[in-house]
Amino acid sequence: MSTAGVTLVIPTYNGARRIEDPLRALLAQAAPSESFEVVVVDNNSKDGTAQVVESSPSAAGLRQRGVDVRVVHEGRQGLLFARLRGIQEARRDIVCFLDDDNVPEPNFVTDGLALFEDAKVGVVVSRLFPRYEVPPPPSIGRREHLLAINHRMGDAVVDFGARPTLAPTIGAGLWLRRAAFLESVPWQNPEQLLPDRLGNKLLSGGDIEFGYLLGKAGYERRYAPTLKMWHIIPRSRFETRYFMRLIVGVVRSEQTLQARYMGRRFQGLARLKACAQLVGAGLASPALALRSDPVREVLFVLARRWAQVQGPYTHLH
């Protein structure tokens, strides 16, 4: 039986060096202590993450305030399984996912809960700003949305509607009505869902799938710009090979969702068109080389076109 308030679920894999940042931000929340709890889902970490949480000054401060802070273990590797474990462990009506490199603003919990006073709301998307260790190169700055950054959506509320559409329900800072999730998402059969990040595989789209399924069930989905968070991004995320893999993973995951829910087929003419676009991108490389950060710009465009040729994922689990 769940009670009023929100469970902040933080899935983490080898997050010992990062986990203090979101915990410190939660300690600084202006919300009453009885209105939230924290569940850290340790997804087979090898660096002592669970012990770091238990000895964390911020976790101790939260507990002194009366906030329940728990560490639970999820043995099935992957972000999907960690999030599902968090949903199952939650004791509050609302669940909000945080990544272990997220820092919410002090009004985050209070303002988020206020949005769920409307019983029709099932999904709320937060506004994420980057906190870069070093400035990104231009080619990556132009694609920062691939790093779970959405602040350019603007200052106005966006209503994605209560219907079966694929909306940008980004997983970092994603708020969900727990009962609606358990009714609408086949959480007991995770093989029916996108696995999301799985080891070194840069898959994505599980958060978009959650939003689609709750929209299909008739729950409203909204982007709430007042729910501000910072996403800490280290320089390692700018490594060219990594970012190319990220592009391929995002594009192919998008295609998988389009095929699964929108009935879009990626065979025959669609694949021929993707091949033609890949060739066209290669021919256009001299023009792309005129942009700032030219080598990466060319590689990233080609990576996207190559991903489109490969098409949707067929073997995900």
Residue 283: pLDDT over 60: no
Nearest to 277 by CA among 269, 40, 173, 14: 269
What is the pLDDT, as a whole number, of residue 308?
A: 87
- Per cent of the chain over pLDDT 70 is 89
Report, in angstroms and rounded to the nearest whole number, the Rg of the chain calculated over CA atoms.
20
Would you place residue 316 in the very low, low, confident or very high pLDDT band (cuts 50, 70, 90)? low
Would you place residue 91 in the very low, low, confident or very high pLDDT band (cuts 50, 70, 90)? very high
Structure tokens at 160: 């994605």
Domains, the chain, with CATH or none: 3-238 (3.90.550.10), 242-310 (no CATH)
Average pLDDT over every residue of 304-317: 79
Angle at 160 between CA 157 and CA 163, to 5 degrees: 155
Phi then psi for 51, rounded to 5 degrees?
A: -65, -35
Contact 9, 74 (CB under 8 A): no
What is the pLDDT, as a whole number, of residue 180?
A: 97
Nearest-angstrom CA–CA distance, 307 and 317: 19
Nearest to 52 by CA among 90, 81, 24: 24
Is the pTM higher than 0.85? The answer reads yes
Strands (E), 234-279: none
Contact 311, 268 (CB under 8 A): no
The length of the chain is 317
Contact 224, 156 (CB under 8 A): no
What is the pLDDT, as a whole number, of residue 288?
A: 56
Average pLDDT over every residue of 288-295: 71
Question: Which three-class secondary structure state does DSSP give residue 141?
Answer: helix
What is the pLDDT, as a whole number, of residue 55?
A: 95
Structure tokens at 167: 């909306």
Residue 268: pLDDT over 80: no
Taking the mean position of all CA atoms in its chain, how far away is CA 52? 23
pLDDT in tens, 223-243: 999 999 999 999 999 999 999
Residues 17, 18, 20, 24, Cα dihedral to 10°: 150
